[in-house]
Structure 1
Amino acid sequence: MSSDHPVSGVAGRYATALFELAEAQGALDAVAADLGNIESMLNASADLTRLVRSPVFSADEQGRAFGAVLEKAGISRLVQNFVGLVIQNRRLFALSEMISAYNAILAAKRGEMTADVTSAHSLGDAQVESLKAALKSATGRDVRINTKVDAELLGGLIVKVGSRMIDSSLRTKLNSLKIAMKEAS
Protein backbone atom coordinates (compact mmCIF):
# COMPACT_ATOMS: atom_id res chain seq x y z
CA MET A 1 0.00 0.00 0.00
CA SER A 2 1.26 3.46 -0.79
CA SER A 3 1.52 5.96 2.02
CA ASP A 4 0.72 9.10 0.02
CA HIS A 5 -3.04 8.79 0.47
CA PRO A 6 -4.75 11.34 2.77
CA VAL A 7 -6.65 8.81 4.91
CA SER A 8 -5.95 6.65 7.93
CA GLY A 9 -7.56 4.07 10.19
CA VAL A 10 -9.52 0.98 9.24
CA ALA A 11 -11.68 2.83 6.70
CA GLY A 12 -8.56 4.35 5.15
CA ARG A 13 -6.83 1.00 4.77
CA TYR A 14 -9.85 -0.59 3.09
CA ALA A 15 -10.38 2.46 0.86
CA THR A 16 -6.71 2.50 -0.13
CA ALA A 17 -6.83 -1.18 -1.08
CA LEU A 18 -9.98 -0.64 -3.17
CA PHE A 19 -8.45 2.45 -4.78
CA GLU A 20 -5.31 0.56 -5.78
CA LEU A 21 -7.36 -2.29 -7.27
CA ALA A 22 -9.59 0.15 -9.16
CA GLU A 23 -6.57 2.08 -10.42
CA ALA A 24 -4.91 -1.13 -11.64
CA GLN A 25 -8.10 -2.02 -13.53
CA GLY A 26 -8.62 1.51 -14.88
CA ALA A 27 -11.94 1.69 -13.06
CA LEU A 28 -11.50 4.65 -10.68
CA ASP A 29 -14.56 6.56 -11.91
CA ALA A 30 -16.74 3.44 -12.24
CA VAL A 31 -15.93 2.42 -8.66
CA ALA A 32 -16.62 5.97 -7.44
CA ALA A 33 -20.01 5.88 -9.19
CA ASP A 34 -20.84 2.48 -7.66
CA LEU A 35 -19.85 3.71 -4.21
CA GLY A 36 -21.99 6.81 -4.72
CA ASN A 37 -24.94 4.58 -5.59
CA ILE A 38 -24.36 2.50 -2.46
CA GLU A 39 -24.18 5.67 -0.34
CA SER A 40 -27.45 6.90 -1.88
CA MET A 41 -29.12 3.55 -1.15
CA LEU A 42 -27.94 3.70 2.47
CA ASN A 43 -29.24 7.25 2.86
CA ALA A 44 -32.59 6.33 1.33
CA SER A 45 -33.30 3.11 3.23
CA ALA A 46 -33.59 2.82 6.99
CA ASP A 47 -33.77 -0.99 6.63
CA LEU A 48 -30.50 -1.13 4.69
CA THR A 49 -28.83 1.17 7.23
CA ARG A 50 -30.06 -1.10 10.02
CA LEU A 51 -28.62 -4.13 8.20
CA VAL A 52 -25.25 -2.36 7.91
CA ARG A 53 -25.03 -1.07 11.48
CA SER A 54 -26.70 -3.77 13.55
CA PRO A 55 -24.45 -6.40 15.13
CA VAL A 56 -27.51 -8.68 15.42
CA PHE A 57 -27.17 -9.85 11.81
CA SER A 58 -24.54 -12.51 11.09
CA ALA A 59 -21.97 -12.02 8.34
CA ASP A 60 -23.83 -14.62 6.26
CA GLU A 61 -27.15 -12.78 6.63
CA GLN A 62 -25.53 -9.44 5.81
CA GLY A 63 -23.72 -10.98 2.84
CA ARG A 64 -26.82 -12.55 1.36
CA ALA A 65 -29.04 -9.49 1.84
CA PHE A 66 -26.50 -6.85 0.83
CA GLY A 67 -25.25 -8.99 -2.05
CA ALA A 68 -28.78 -9.22 -3.44
CA VAL A 69 -29.22 -5.44 -3.17
CA LEU A 70 -25.90 -4.78 -4.93
CA GLU A 71 -26.68 -7.30 -7.68
CA LYS A 72 -30.11 -5.75 -8.31
CA ALA A 73 -28.57 -2.25 -8.37
CA GLY A 74 -26.09 -3.31 -11.07
CA ILE A 75 -23.00 -2.68 -8.94
CA SER A 76 -19.76 -3.90 -10.56
CA ARG A 77 -18.19 -7.21 -9.58
CA LEU A 78 -15.12 -5.40 -8.14
CA VAL A 79 -17.25 -3.37 -5.72
CA GLN A 80 -19.44 -6.38 -4.90
CA ASN A 81 -16.33 -8.39 -4.01
CA PHE A 82 -15.00 -5.48 -1.95
CA VAL A 83 -18.24 -5.19 0.02
CA GLY A 84 -18.26 -8.98 0.44
CA LEU A 85 -14.78 -8.83 1.99
CA VAL A 86 -15.86 -5.97 4.25
CA ILE A 87 -18.82 -8.07 5.40
CA GLN A 88 -16.69 -11.20 5.87
CA ASN A 89 -14.29 -9.20 8.08
CA ARG A 90 -17.26 -7.78 10.08
CA ARG A 91 -16.47 -4.18 9.09
CA LEU A 92 -19.71 -3.33 7.29
CA PHE A 93 -20.53 -0.74 9.98
CA ALA A 94 -17.63 1.36 8.59
CA LEU A 95 -18.75 1.23 4.94
CA SER A 96 -19.80 4.90 4.79
CA GLU A 97 -16.41 5.96 6.16
CA MET A 98 -14.70 3.72 3.59
CA ILE A 99 -16.68 5.39 0.81
CA SER A 100 -15.71 8.86 2.10
CA ALA A 101 -12.07 7.78 2.35
CA TYR A 102 -12.11 6.43 -1.23
CA ASN A 103 -13.54 9.73 -2.47
CA ALA A 104 -10.85 11.65 -0.54
CA ILE A 105 -8.10 9.53 -2.12
CA LEU A 106 -9.60 10.01 -5.59
CA ALA A 107 -9.90 13.79 -5.06
CA ALA A 108 -6.28 13.99 -3.91
CA LYS A 109 -5.16 11.99 -6.97
CA ARG A 110 -6.99 14.43 -9.23
CA GLY A 111 -5.65 17.48 -7.40
CA GLU A 112 -9.12 18.38 -6.20
CA MET A 113 -10.14 19.67 -2.82
CA THR A 114 -13.30 18.57 -1.08
CA ALA A 115 -15.66 21.04 0.55
CA ASP A 116 -18.34 19.97 3.00
CA VAL A 117 -21.27 22.35 2.67
CA THR A 118 -24.13 22.36 5.15
CA SER A 119 -27.19 24.43 4.27
CA ALA A 120 -30.61 25.01 5.78
CA HIS A 121 -32.31 23.89 2.54
CA SER A 122 -31.27 21.72 -0.41
CA LEU A 123 -29.05 23.58 -2.86
CA GLY A 124 -30.05 23.68 -6.51
CA ASP A 125 -27.64 22.73 -9.30
CA ALA A 126 -27.04 26.39 -10.17
CA GLN A 127 -26.23 27.21 -6.54
CA VAL A 128 -23.78 24.28 -6.29
CA GLU A 129 -22.06 25.33 -9.53
CA SER A 130 -21.83 28.94 -8.32
CA LEU A 131 -20.36 27.76 -5.02
CA LYS A 132 -17.85 25.55 -6.87
CA ALA A 133 -16.75 28.51 -8.98
CA ALA A 134 -16.36 30.76 -5.94
CA LEU A 135 -14.36 28.12 -4.06
CA LYS A 136 -12.17 27.45 -7.11
CA SER A 137 -11.33 31.14 -7.39
CA ALA A 138 -10.57 31.30 -3.64
CA THR A 139 -8.44 28.14 -3.51
CA GLY A 140 -7.06 27.96 -7.04
CA ARG A 141 -8.05 24.29 -7.27
CA ASP A 142 -11.04 22.32 -8.44
CA VAL A 143 -13.40 21.72 -5.55
CA ARG A 144 -15.68 18.72 -5.11
CA ILE A 145 -18.70 19.56 -2.97
CA ASN A 146 -20.44 17.26 -0.48
CA THR A 147 -23.77 18.77 0.53
CA LYS A 148 -25.77 18.18 3.68
CA VAL A 149 -29.00 19.76 4.90
CA ASP A 150 -29.48 20.91 8.50
CA ALA A 151 -32.78 22.77 8.97
CA GLU A 152 -31.60 24.05 12.37
CA LEU A 153 -29.25 26.48 10.57
CA LEU A 154 -32.37 28.51 9.65
CA GLY A 155 -30.51 30.02 6.66
CA GLY A 156 -27.04 30.56 5.20
CA LEU A 157 -24.23 28.05 4.83
CA ILE A 158 -21.41 26.38 6.69
CA VAL A 159 -18.53 25.60 4.34
CA LYS A 160 -15.53 23.48 5.38
CA VAL A 161 -12.57 23.29 3.00
CA GLY A 162 -9.55 21.54 4.42
CA SER A 163 -8.88 23.04 7.83
CA ARG A 164 -10.83 26.24 7.09
CA MET A 165 -14.45 26.74 8.04
CA ILE A 166 -16.72 29.60 6.99
CA ASP A 167 -19.91 29.75 9.03
CA SER A 168 -22.41 32.22 7.62
CA SER A 169 -25.43 30.45 9.05
CA LEU A 170 -28.27 32.46 10.50
CA ARG A 171 -28.17 30.32 13.65
CA THR A 172 -24.56 31.34 14.36
CA LYS A 173 -25.29 35.00 13.65
CA LEU A 174 -28.29 34.95 16.01
CA ASN A 175 -26.22 33.22 18.72
CA SER A 176 -23.49 35.87 18.33
CA LEU A 177 -26.09 38.61 18.59
CA LYS A 178 -27.57 36.99 21.70
CA ILE A 179 -24.12 36.87 23.34
CA ALA A 180 -23.44 40.48 22.41
CA MET A 181 -26.81 41.55 23.88
CA LYS A 182 -26.04 39.72 27.16
CA GLU A 183 -22.64 41.39 27.40
CA ALA A 184 -24.17 44.81 26.73
CA SER A 185 -26.78 44.51 29.48
Structure 2
Amino acid sequence: MASTSSPISAVAERYARSLFELASESKAVAKVESDLSSFEKMLGSSADLNRLIKSPVFSADEQFKAIDAVVSKAKIGGLTGNFLRVVARNRRLFAVPGMIGAFRRIAAEARGEVSADVVSAHALTAAQQTELKAALKSVAGKDVSINVTVDPSLLGGLIVKMGSRQIDTSLQTKLNSLKLALKEVG
Protein backbone atom coordinates (compact mmCIF):
# COMPACT_ATOMS: atom_id res chain seq x y z
CA MET A 1 0.00 0.00 0.00
CA ALA A 2 1.28 3.44 -0.84
CA SER A 3 2.15 5.70 2.03
CA THR A 4 -0.71 8.02 2.80
CA SER A 5 -0.53 11.40 4.43
CA SER A 6 -4.08 11.82 5.71
CA PRO A 7 -7.06 9.78 6.82
CA ILE A 8 -8.90 10.82 3.63
CA SER A 9 -6.11 9.52 1.41
CA ALA A 10 -6.03 6.27 3.41
CA VAL A 11 -9.78 5.84 2.84
CA ALA A 12 -9.38 6.69 -0.85
CA GLU A 13 -6.54 4.18 -1.24
CA ARG A 14 -8.50 1.33 0.39
CA TYR A 15 -11.61 1.93 -1.71
CA ALA A 16 -9.60 2.37 -4.93
CA ARG A 17 -7.63 -0.82 -4.31
CA SER A 18 -10.85 -2.77 -3.66
CA LEU A 19 -12.43 -1.37 -6.83
CA PHE A 20 -9.31 -2.24 -8.82
CA GLU A 21 -9.33 -5.84 -7.53
CA LEU A 22 -12.99 -6.24 -8.49
CA ALA A 23 -12.40 -4.63 -11.89
CA SER A 24 -9.41 -6.90 -12.52
CA GLU A 25 -11.38 -10.02 -11.64
CA SER A 26 -14.13 -9.05 -14.08
CA LYS A 27 -11.64 -7.76 -16.70
CA ALA A 28 -13.26 -4.32 -16.62
CA VAL A 29 -10.38 -2.05 -15.57
CA ALA A 30 -10.56 0.06 -18.77
CA LYS A 31 -14.35 0.45 -18.48
CA VAL A 32 -14.14 1.43 -14.81
CA GLU A 33 -11.37 3.92 -15.61
CA SER A 34 -13.50 5.44 -18.37
CA ASP A 35 -16.58 5.65 -16.12
CA LEU A 36 -14.56 7.25 -13.31
CA SER A 37 -13.23 9.82 -15.78
CA SER A 38 -16.80 10.62 -16.84
CA PHE A 39 -17.83 11.05 -13.22
CA GLU A 40 -14.78 13.22 -12.56
CA LYS A 41 -15.76 15.48 -15.49
CA MET A 42 -19.23 15.80 -13.99
CA LEU A 43 -17.66 16.79 -10.66
CA GLY A 44 -15.58 19.41 -12.43
CA SER A 45 -18.55 20.94 -14.20
CA SER A 46 -21.22 20.83 -11.49
CA ALA A 47 -21.03 22.97 -8.37
CA ASP A 48 -24.12 21.19 -7.01
CA LEU A 49 -22.56 17.75 -7.38
CA ASN A 50 -19.39 19.03 -5.70
CA ARG A 51 -21.45 20.43 -2.83
CA LEU A 52 -23.23 17.08 -2.51
CA ILE A 53 -20.03 15.07 -2.13
CA LYS A 54 -18.29 17.55 0.19
CA SER A 55 -21.08 18.70 2.49
CA PRO A 56 -21.82 16.79 5.70
CA VAL A 57 -25.28 18.41 5.75
CA PHE A 58 -26.77 15.81 3.40
CA SER A 59 -27.86 12.52 4.96
CA ALA A 60 -26.52 9.20 3.69
CA ASP A 61 -29.94 8.48 2.18
CA GLU A 62 -30.04 11.84 0.36
CA GLN A 63 -26.51 11.31 -0.95
CA PHE A 64 -27.36 7.77 -2.07
CA LYS A 65 -30.51 8.87 -3.92
CA ALA A 66 -28.70 11.76 -5.61
CA ILE A 67 -25.72 9.61 -6.68
CA ASP A 68 -28.08 6.88 -7.86
CA ALA A 69 -29.92 9.42 -10.04
CA VAL A 70 -26.67 10.93 -11.37
CA VAL A 71 -25.05 7.62 -12.31
CA SER A 72 -28.28 6.33 -13.85
CA LYS A 73 -28.75 9.47 -15.96
CA ALA A 74 -25.06 9.45 -16.99
CA LYS A 75 -25.33 5.75 -17.87
CA ILE A 76 -22.52 4.85 -15.47
CA GLY A 77 -23.54 1.34 -14.66
CA GLY A 78 -22.09 -1.96 -13.68
CA LEU A 79 -19.17 -2.01 -11.31
CA THR A 80 -18.54 1.75 -11.26
CA GLY A 81 -22.17 2.65 -10.65
CA ASN A 82 -22.43 0.12 -7.83
CA PHE A 83 -19.13 1.35 -6.39
CA LEU A 84 -20.33 4.97 -6.30
CA ARG A 85 -23.60 3.88 -4.67
CA VAL A 86 -21.71 1.94 -1.97
CA VAL A 87 -19.43 4.93 -1.38
CA ALA A 88 -22.52 7.15 -0.98
CA ARG A 89 -24.22 4.66 1.34
CA ASN A 90 -21.06 4.53 3.49
CA ARG A 91 -20.83 8.37 3.60
CA ARG A 92 -17.43 8.42 1.91
CA LEU A 93 -18.30 10.67 -1.06
CA PHE A 94 -15.90 13.33 0.25
CA ALA A 95 -13.04 11.00 -0.72
CA VAL A 96 -14.22 10.24 -4.29
CA PRO A 97 -11.71 12.58 -6.02
CA GLY A 98 -8.90 10.84 -4.12
CA MET A 99 -10.36 7.43 -4.97
CA ILE A 100 -10.36 8.30 -8.67
CA GLY A 101 -6.73 9.43 -8.54
CA ALA A 102 -5.68 6.37 -6.54
CA PHE A 103 -7.52 4.04 -8.94
CA ARG A 104 -5.75 5.60 -11.92
CA ARG A 105 -2.38 5.25 -10.21
CA ILE A 106 -3.01 1.60 -9.27
CA ALA A 107 -4.24 0.77 -12.80
CA ALA A 108 -1.22 2.51 -14.36
CA GLU A 109 1.16 0.58 -12.07
CA ALA A 110 -0.53 -2.68 -13.08
CA ARG A 111 0.05 -1.81 -16.75
CA GLY A 112 3.69 -0.93 -16.03
CA GLU A 113 3.02 2.77 -16.51
CA VAL A 114 3.66 5.81 -14.40
CA SER A 115 0.79 8.22 -13.93
CA ALA A 116 1.34 11.96 -14.24
CA ASP A 117 -1.07 14.74 -13.37
CA VAL A 118 -0.73 17.69 -15.71
CA VAL A 119 -2.30 21.08 -15.08
CA SER A 120 -2.25 23.38 -18.08
CA ALA A 121 -3.38 26.95 -18.64
CA HIS A 122 -5.03 25.87 -21.90
CA ALA A 123 -6.31 22.57 -23.30
CA LEU A 124 -3.52 20.48 -24.83
CA THR A 125 -3.82 19.21 -28.39
CA ALA A 126 -3.34 15.51 -29.11
CA ALA A 127 0.09 16.29 -30.61
CA GLN A 128 1.13 18.22 -27.49
CA GLN A 129 -0.05 15.37 -25.26
CA THR A 130 1.93 12.85 -27.34
CA GLU A 131 5.05 15.02 -27.16
CA LEU A 132 4.62 15.49 -23.41
CA LYS A 133 4.20 11.73 -22.89
CA ALA A 134 7.40 11.09 -24.85
CA ALA A 135 9.33 13.67 -22.80
CA LEU A 136 8.03 12.24 -19.52
CA LYS A 137 8.81 8.70 -20.67
CA SER A 138 12.45 9.70 -21.18
CA VAL A 139 12.53 11.00 -17.59
CA ALA A 140 10.61 8.14 -15.97
CA GLY A 141 11.96 5.29 -18.07
CA LYS A 142 8.43 3.86 -18.35
CA ASP A 143 5.31 4.57 -20.35
CA VAL A 144 3.43 7.50 -18.87
CA SER A 145 -0.32 8.01 -18.71
CA ILE A 146 -1.30 11.64 -18.24
CA ASN A 147 -4.38 13.14 -16.61
CA VAL A 148 -4.78 16.66 -17.94
CA THR A 149 -6.77 19.39 -16.22
CA VAL A 150 -7.09 22.99 -17.32
CA ASP A 151 -6.54 25.89 -14.91
CA PRO A 152 -6.61 29.31 -16.63
CA SER A 153 -5.13 30.96 -13.51
CA LEU A 154 -1.72 29.56 -14.51
CA LEU A 155 -1.72 32.11 -17.38
CA GLY A 156 0.62 29.88 -19.41
CA GLY A 157 2.84 26.81 -19.10
CA LEU A 158 2.32 23.55 -17.23
CA ILE A 159 2.56 21.95 -13.82
CA VAL A 160 3.45 18.25 -14.04
CA LYS A 161 3.23 15.97 -10.99
CA MET A 162 4.72 12.52 -11.43
CA GLY A 163 5.14 10.49 -8.28
CA SER A 164 6.99 12.62 -5.75
CA ARG A 165 8.33 14.97 -8.44
CA GLN A 166 6.75 18.21 -9.57
CA ILE A 167 7.82 20.33 -12.51
CA ASP A 168 6.28 23.80 -12.52
CA THR A 169 6.82 25.84 -15.68
CA SER A 170 3.71 27.97 -15.24
CA LEU A 171 3.80 31.65 -15.99
CA GLN A 172 2.02 32.33 -12.68
CA THR A 173 4.92 30.75 -10.73
CA LYS A 174 7.51 32.64 -12.76
CA LEU A 175 5.69 35.93 -12.08
CA ASN A 176 5.50 35.13 -8.37
CA SER A 177 9.25 34.37 -8.31
CA LEU A 178 9.98 37.64 -10.10
CA LYS A 179 7.76 39.50 -7.64
CA LEU A 180 9.70 38.01 -4.70
CA ALA A 181 13.04 38.83 -6.31
CA LEU A 182 11.98 42.43 -6.86
CA LYS A 183 10.86 42.73 -3.22
CA GLU A 184 14.29 41.52 -2.05
CA VAL A 185 16.12 44.02 -4.26
CA GLY A 186 13.90 47.00 -3.52
Same fold (TM over 0.5): yes
Q: What 5-or-longer segments of structure 1 have no aligned partner?
A: none
Residue 57 of structure 1 is matched in structure 2 by 58
Identity percentage of aligned residues? 58
Distance 2:94 2:182 in 1: 45
Residue 77 of structure 1 is matched in structure 2 by 78
Mean Cα deviation higher: 162-171 or 27-36: 162-171
Aligned with 1:148: secondary structure? strand
Distance 1:166 1:58 in 2: 40
Deviations 1:103-158 (A, max 9, x none): 11101111111112222222222211111111112222111112222333222222
Contact 1:153 1:170 in 2 (8 A): yes
Q: TM-score scaled to structure 1, two decimals?
A: 0.88
CA-CA distance at 1:29 after TM superposition? 0.8
Distance 2:107 2:74 in 1: 23
Residue 133 of structure 2 is matched in structure 1 by 132
AA at the equivalent of 2:23: A
Contact 1:119 1:150 in 2 (8 A): yes
Distance 1:168 1:19 in 2: 33
Contact 1:6 1:105 in 2 (8 A): no
Mean Cα deviation higher: 161-170 or 12-21: 161-170
Distance 1:81 1:139 in 2: 35
Mean Cα deviation higher: 107-116 or 145-154: 145-154
Residue 86 of structure 1 is matched in structure 2 by 87
AA at the equivalent of 1:15: A
RMSD after superposition = 2.0
Q: How does 1:6-155 map to 2 (within 5 A)?
A: 9-155=10-156
Aligned length: 182
Mean Cα deviation higher: 52-61 or 170-179: 170-179
Distance 1:182 1:42 in 2: 39
Distance change (3 Å), C-alpha of 1:58 and 1:184? closer
Asked if 1:163 is matched to 2:154, the reply is no
